[in-house]
Structure 1
Amino acid sequence: MNKILIYYRPLVIGFILATQLVEQVTQIINCDAGLCLARNKNLTIQVNYAAAIWLLLNLINQDDQVLLNKLKGKIHGGLTVYMVFVTVAYHVLLSSGDPYFWTFTNLSQHYIAPILFLLDWFISNDVSYDYSFLKSWLIYPSLYLVFALTNGVLGLSSNTGSSYIYGFLNFQEFGFIPVLIVVIAVYVLLIILSVLSIFLSKKLNNEIN
C-alpha cells in the first residue's frame, strides 16, 4: 500500500465515523431515539458509512491481495461516484434554505468526506474501469429510490418531519410529473459522474491516447 495511504486512510475513517457518531448521539439526546435512528435511512449517511467501511477493509487486510483486488475497480469506483453524487445532488437540490447548512456535521458528510474520499481515489486508483461498470453502479441508487418511495407511501418514519426521506420524491404533494423530472435528472447526473469516473480511470492508467 502507498505509504501516504497508510497514514491518510485512518484519518479519513476516524473523521467520517466520529462525525456520524457525534451527530447520532446528539440527535438521540435531543429527540425520540427511534425517530433519530431513522436518519440512517438517508442515502448520504449510508454512503458515508459504506466509504468508511471500504477504507477500513483495505486498511486491515493489507496482506490479503485477493480481497484487495475485489475491493478495487468496480466497488471503489462505485463508492467514489456515490460520494461525489452526494455532494452535487445535495448542493443542487437540498442546500438552498437548509437551516443546518453551516453545521459541521452537514458540511462534513456532504462536502468534506466526499472530497477526502475522492482524493483517496486519485491517490490509490490503479485500475482502468470498463464502461460496463455503469450498469452495476446504477443498482444501488435504483434500489434506494424504490426504498425511499415505499417509505413515503407507507408513511414510515424519517428524520425530515415527513415520511418522504427526500421531499422532492413526494409525488403525493408535488405530482407525478415533477417528481419524474427530478428522478430523470438524478439518473442523468449519476450517468455523467460514472462516465467521467471511467474516463479518468483510463486516463490515469494511460489507456487513452
Structure 2
Amino acid sequence: MKRTLAIIFAGIAWFALILQLFLAIKNQITPIHETLIRFFSYFTILTNSLVAVYFTFQACNPNNNRFSQTGKLSAITVYILVVGLVYQVVLRSTWNPEGLAKLTDELLHSVTPLLTFFYWVLYEKKQKLSWSQIPSWLIYPALYLAYIMIRGYLSGFYPYPFVNVSEIGYTQTFLNSFFVLLVFVGLSGLLIFMGKNFNRKNI
C-alpha cells in the first residue's frame, strides 16, 4: 500500500510540474534561459519538485533510503503545507487561471499538499519526532529567501508580491518574511505535537 500510494502521488506531482513547465515555456515573455531560471525561482516549484523526488524514492525503495530517516517526511510536509497555506490565504485572489493553468494551479497548491499530509499521517515515524529538529527544517526556506533576495537584487525579478523589494521595500519584505517564518515554525510545532499526540493514543 505504501509503495502504491508513493507511485500515485509521485505521478501526480511530476505531472503537475511538467505541465506547469510546458505552460511557462509556451507563454514565455523572456528568453528561454531566463524563463527557466524564473520557473525554478518559485518556492512552489522547488517544493513540489522536492515532494516529487521524495515520492519517487519511496516508490522505488520505500523502506531503505535516505529520505526515510525520521523527520525528513515531516520537513517536506511542512514545506508543502506552507505552499498551500500561503497560496490559499495570500495569493489565490491575485489571479484567476483557466483551463490547464487552473488544473496545475490546484494540483501544485491544493492537491499535492493534501496528499503529502495524508502520507505523513500514515507513514511518518511520529514517535521519534523531536522539537530540536525544527531549526534544521528552517534551513531550506532560509536559503531560499537568501537566494531570491540576491537574485532579485541582480535581476529585478522577485517571484512573489510579498517579497518584491522593488515595490514594497526591504523593511516590508523582511517583515513579511518574518511572518512566513512564523508559519513554518508554527506548522512544524503542530506536526510534532500531533505526532506525539497520535503516538500517545496508540500506546
TM over 0.5, shorter chain: yes
Gaps of at least 5 residues in structure 1 are 156-161
Could you tell me whether the CA contact under 8 Å between 2:20 and 2:104 is conserved in 1?
yes
Cα deviations across residues 42-91 of structure 1 (Å, max 9, x unaligned)? 11111111111111112212463xx36x5232211100000111011112
**CA apart distance, 1:34:** 2.2
How far apart are residue 108 of structure 1 and its match?
A: 0.7
User: Partner amino acid for 2:74?
Assistant: G
Q: Report the equivalent of 2:138.
A: 138
1:119-140: per-residue Cα shift (whole Å, max 9, x none)?
1111112332100011001111
In structure 1, what is the equivalent of residue 52 of structure 2?
Answer: 52
Following TM superposition, by how much is the alpha carbon of 1:172 offset from its aligned partner in structure 2, in angstroms?
Answer: 3.4
Cα deviation digits, residues 131-167 of structure 1 (max 9, x gap): 0011001111111000011111101xxxxxx611222
Matches within 5 A, 1:1-209: 3=1, 5-31=2-28, 32-37=31-36, 38-62=38-62, 64=64, 67=65, 71-100=68-97, 103-128=102-127, 129-155=129-155, 163-206=157-200
Residue 208 of structure 1 deviates from its aligned partner by 9.9
Q: Partner residue of 1:158?
A: none
Q: Is the 8 A contact 1:85 1:190 kept in 2?
A: yes
Contact 2:134 2:185 in 1 (8 A): yes
In the alignment, structure 2 segments of 5+ residues that lack a partner are none
TM-score for the superposition, normalised by structure 2: 0.88
Q: Indicate the SS of the match to 2:126.
A: coil
Give the 4+ runs in structure 1 shifted more than 3 A: none
Higher mean C-alpha displacement, 127-136 vs 19-28: 19-28
**Compared with structure 1, are the counterparts of its residues 207 and 195 closer, same or farther at alpha carbon in structure 2 (3 Å cutoff)?**
farther
- RMSD after superposition: 2.1
TM-score (norm 1): 0.86
